[in-house]
Structure 1
Amino acid sequence: MNIVNPILPGFHPDPCILRHQDFYYIATSTFEWFPAIALYQSKDLIHWQSIGHVLDRPEQIDMRGLGSSEGVWAPDLTYCEDDGYFYISYTLMHNWSYDGPRDMHNYVTRSRSIEGPWSIPVKIDSGGIDPALFFDEDGRTYWMRNQWEYRAGFDHFAGIVMQEFDRTSLRVVGEKKMVFAGTGLGKVEGPHVYKREGYYYLLTAEGGTFFDHAVSLARSRSIWGPYEIHPENPVMSSQLEPNHPLQKVGHASLVQAHDGSWYLSYLCGRPLPSRGRCILGREAALERVVWADDGWLYRSEPGKAPSVVVQAPKGDEHKWEELPVRDDFDEPKLRTSYQFLRSHMDERYCTLTERPGYLRLRGRQSPTSRIDQSLVARRQTSFVYEATTCLEFDPKNPNQLAGLIAFYDHQHFFYLTKTNIDGPCLTLYCADRGRWIEPIDVVPIDDGPIHLKARMRYDKLRFAYSMDGEAWSDIGPL
């Protein structure tokens, strides 16, 4: 049996993997989307299913006001045998695009069950990103993260710092120490520690999150260092293979499978063939690795670049029941594949119960807002797709809009909308690097329900509409 990468296509950055009892779990970043921190489970590393989110209650997090790609970064998922808790640490990023000091706050939440409920997050510290916990054999717990340096003339990614952590009070104790300055690749972040045969292995991401991204490894007899660097570092990267289908490889975590084999989970990006942009975002993937006689970790295949097809662990294949492609909104809750922007949308603005079999939304702010929007979205997981919906909406003026949106962030989207400009009509609004564009003249339509469709073919998006769901008319430029 084989694993085919990416295992979680579409926007699934910073995957952190954990094996507990008979299951594998992965937690991924969700940035400014709510609910936050996506969770998936598998029994064979091949097939994965969503089991919800960690931060799924409004009292746990409020990201209103945060910019695109800020919010929740780099969850670290661990399990402590001593106290029976699952732990997740993460960064809540503010003002990332600012050149000076940046507000990056680190939190911990925990739960007796992977499916929750997860506790109200506790703020641990600030001043760096990508926190992680390590539970040592002697009962001690350690907190580690990237150290951020904002001053001009310094490397912003200053290194990896570590401190002891008290699980009872959920706070760091003792002195914070710099344990690893990184390698020559630069921009060290995303630390994870693993202990094996008397060594502490420090796995990090380096090179930045673009095409120089890489997986680095170092080890030490003491958790406090000094750490020696892997003799053939980086362990994995696509930086020297520009035509490889999996690019931006990095931010890895390590797991031992049930058959004794080892795997790295990591993020990657799949560029468009024509333009080189990774429009699906950072995706989650797996790589089989081996421990060599020299005590270092290597890919199981020659070279540094990852494999698209990977040998799975021995054992039975376990498939999950697939959700129907069509959603008639006839269940009491939205599927876990749907998310909102920045904050919870309660029954006042998003309800499945007022009119069973329909999703009813009440409008709030515009698509460019960073505060309150009535937007229900799901990930694009393929370069080729069709999305269709039926809309019932009776706008009275041009300030009332509803429709179907292809949304990258608040500065980049295409929005096919029904509105009222001297009568009911369709129009298309676009945001390109923050510039508001109206590429077409309005299209008058009849009153009543209308079907809307988006067709994506790699870097080509085409909208269409239909009054009966059968006869379709294209709208807007290709």
Structure 2
Amino acid sequence: MSRPISTTTRAVRLALAAAAMLCAAGANAAGPARFGWVEYQGTDGAAVPAGSYRNPILAGYHPDPSIVRVGADYYLVNSTFSWFPGIPVFHSRDLVHWRQIGNAIDRPGQLDFTGRGMSEGVFAPAINYHAGRFYIVNTCVQCGGNFVITATDPAGKWSDPVFLPTVEGIDPSLFFDTDGKAWMINNREPVGGSTYDGHRALWIEQFDPVALKMMGNPKMVVNGGVDLAAKPVWIEGPHIYRVKNTYYLLAAEGGTSVNHSQVVFRSDSVTGPYVPAPKDINPVLSQRNQPATRPNPISATGHADLVQLPDGRWWSIFLGTRPYEKDFYNIGRETFLLPVDWSNGWPVILPKGQNVPYVVRAPLPMAAAGSTPFTGTYSVRTDFVGPRLGLEWMTMRDAPYRLAGRELLLDPRADGIGDFGKPAFVARRQEHAVASVTTSVRFAPEEGAMAGLAAVQNDAYFLTIALTRHDGKTFVRAARRAGKDEPRTGVTVAERAVSASGPVRLRIAARGGRYDLAYAVGKQWVTLAHEVDATNLSTNKAGGFVGTMIGPFAQGPR
């Protein structure tokens, strides 16, 4: 028979049940991982002579550059795909030393990268300035299509995106003519559709810069590329410039790998017809025919933009890669700077047969370097003070983190780096082939949880060194993932049981395609895994358009 339960007995039972639930939750989730600092060190050649600069000007994952000059100030933006915050905005007074002043996509409500691959999201932004207003036009691949955002201050706040649903394709760019009219040119399907793989076209359409909408009647101005009979591929990244009374159309051709190039057309009318430069001039930039055995190669050059200096000279920014062997590079596509030669009536960035130089005479009197360098040999340390991370730090698809008590706190959530979600992972770019990233972490992992350092190309290709716990013991574990078919936390490369009451230091050291993973419980460093094959972090193997990002992470068991 049943009996009534007293109020006191019921309260005791409820309290015991709540305690049991808390214990069960504690068995599946560790407390936050507490990171005290991160130090980045990179080595990149000898010092350059006075009055010269080193290429690239933005090392590491800084692809698809676009630039605009406003008076004596220069502003530059890059692609960031599904990393958040997105579209970094840089400022310079000399075209060589750059300082990041903001991120154009810095609020989750602007764009939603949930479910997007790391090489989807925001492609090839183009920045312009007109009548006191800055414009960035861009494509959010698989997350809305082409859009425009605006700001009166390039440091932000940038507006929410205004989508352009009638504009098919990618890589939009604005051109403001002397008569006040604005035009958008971008990559779309050719009339009648593509006839071969990679067959695209460039279209132009008038744009209303006040209402932020297209005005209709688009016109195809380039079909395929310079020579349709040769079946050119991936004509993209277009920009228009007016020089005196002639319109020049600059675009990339050949894809973003080793066949990348920059080609130019011109016309007496903004809407064409556009005629390509002669074959002895086009392409005006490429490294595809340079010997593969040349020392210290710069490869895959293209996706250029031009800027005119106040004295009338022109310079170009463009992307390129620095492979450590063959076509293997882990750090992504970078931003380079070279002068433009107009002596033959066309904008030639680099004469055929020449290698992209690493050291070049500076275009302007050199300003002082910013607080965070972006090229050359340097060391920077991040101490987690203040309410937010520095502008150079990013997460995968807007993942959460906390700063408190001069520490970075990452909660080991169910989403891990290999889960195509929003893992607790904050990272900065690896900007050198020879580099190291070191951190200090305090973490008491529960069974199956882990926290440490990760070097990530995307969700399926990464390296980690982390504190973890299994079989009742705490270990330092080194792991590698090289594809979706491998375990979500990677394949264990090495692990060692440790006992530590204080912080543990962790380090990832890169040398081209080989990385060392090390830890220190006291003063002595221990190399846990030596010369790990890190070619899984190369674009050649991982695919996509991004570069390696390194930083602290934490994750719990599923």
Length-normalised TM-score, structure 1: 0.91
In 2, the alpha carbon distance for the partners of 1:211 and 1:440 equals 32
In structure 2, the gaps of 5 or more residues are: 1-50, 374-378, 532-558
1:191 aligns with 2:234: no
Matched, 1:375 2:425: yes
Residue 80 of structure 1 corresponds to 130
Structure having greater relative contact order (Cα 8 Å, sep ≥ 6): 2
Aligned match of 1:452: 506
Return closer, same or farther for 1:71/1:313 CA change in 2, 3 Å cut-off.
same
**C-alpha distance in 2, partners of 1:9/1:24?**
18
Aligned equivalent of 1:351, options 402, 423, 438: 402
Q: Which amino acid aligns with 1:377?
A: A
Question: Do structure 1's residue 224 and structure 2's residue 289 form an aligned pair?
Answer: no
| Separation in structure 1 between the aligned mates of residue 307 and residue 461 of structure 2, nearest angstrom | 37
Q: Aligned-pair RMSD on alpha carbons?
A: 2.0
Whether contact under 8 Å (2:500, 2:521) holds in the other structure is no
Once residues 516 and 421 of structure 2 are traced to their aligned partners in structure 1, the CA distance between those partners, rounded to angstroms, is 29
Cα distance, 1:49 vs structure 2: 1.5
Misfit runs of 4+, over 4 Å: 149-153, 300-305
SS of residue paired to 1:368: helix
Which residue number corresponds to residue 167 of structure 1? 209
Instruction: Indicate the residue corresponding to 1:259 in structure 2.
Output: 311
- Quote the offset at 1:447 in angstroms: 3.9
The answer as to 2:419 corresponding to 1:360 is no
Offset from partner CA, 1:23-82 (integer Å, 9 cap, x none): 11110000110000011111111211111211001111110100121111100000013x
Question: Which amino acid letter does the alignment assign opposite residue 283 of structure 1?
Answer: E
| Equivalent residue, structure 2, for 1:178 | 220
- The amino acid of 2:170's aligned partner reads I
Compared with structure 1, are the counterparts of its residues 319 and 452 closer, same or farther at alpha carbon in structure 2 (3 Å cutoff)? Answer: closer
Deviation, structure 1 residue 155: 4.4
| Percent pairwise identity | 34
Q: Structure 1 residue 217: deviation in Å? A: 0.4
Change (3 A) 1:439 1:373: closer
Number of the residue aligned with 1:118: 158
Q: Which runs of 5+ in 1 are unaligned?
A: 95-102
Letter in 2 for 1:163: E
Aligned to 1:329: 384
Determine which structure has more spread, i.e. the larger CA radius of gyration. Answer: 2
Residue 456 of structure 2: aligned partner: 407
State the SS of the aligned residue for 2:200.
strand
In the TM superposition, residue 156 of structure 1 has moved relative to its aligned partner by: 3.8
8 A contact 1:23–1:43 mirrored in 2:
yes
Looking at structure 2, the residues matched to 222 and 37 of structure 1 have their Cα atoms a distance apart, in angstroms, of 32
Q: One-letter code of the match for 1:135?
A: F
TM-score by length of 2: 0.79
Q: Which amino acid aligns with 1:246?
A: I
Q: In proportion to residue count, which structure has more helix? A: 2
Alignment of 1:178-327 (within 5 A): 178-181=220-223, 182-184=225-227, 185-231=232-278, 232-241=281-290, 242=292, 243=294, 245-272=297-324, 274-292=325-343, 294-299=344-349, 303=353, 305-322=355-372, 325-327=380-382
Deviation at 1:249, TM superposition (A): 0.4
Q: Does 1:53 align with 2:103?
A: yes
Aligned to 1:97: none
Q: Supply the distance in 2 between the matched residues of 1:213 and 1:333 (Cα, whole angstroms).
A: 38
Matched, 1:8 2:8: no
Q: What is the distance in 2 between the residues matched to 1:441 and 1:166?
A: 59
CA distance in 2, matches of 1:8, 1:216: 23
Question: In 2, Cα distance between the equivalents of 1:127 and 1:206?
Answer: 19
Q: Which residue of 2 aligns with 1:25?
A: 75
Decide whether aligned partners of structure 1 residues 395 and 316 sit closer, same or farther in structure 2, where only a CA change above 3 A counts: closer
**Cα distance between partner residues in 2 of 1:60 and 1:329:** 26
Q: 1:401: Cα distance to partner?
A: 1.4
Task: Label 1:104 to 1:331 Cα distance change in 2 as closer, same or farther (>3 A).
Answer: closer
Q: Residues 432 and 466 (structure 1 numbering): CA distance in 2 closer, same or farther, change over 3 Å?
A: same
Contact 1:401 1:418 in 2 (8 A): yes
Residue of structure 1 in register with 2:8 after alignment: none
Distance apart, 1:309 and its partner CA = 2.2
Cα 1:138/1:427, change in 2 over 3 Å: same
- Contact (CA 8 Å) 1:37, 1:54: kept in 2 or not? yes
Give me the whole-angstrom Cα distance separating, in 2, the residues matched to 1:259 and 1:153. Answer: 45
The answer on whether the counterparts of 1:2 and 1:46 sit within 8 Å (CA) in structure 2 is no
Q: Does residue 127 in structure 1 map to residue 180 in structure 2?
A: no
Q: Distance in 1 between matches of 2:164 and 2:513?
A: 42
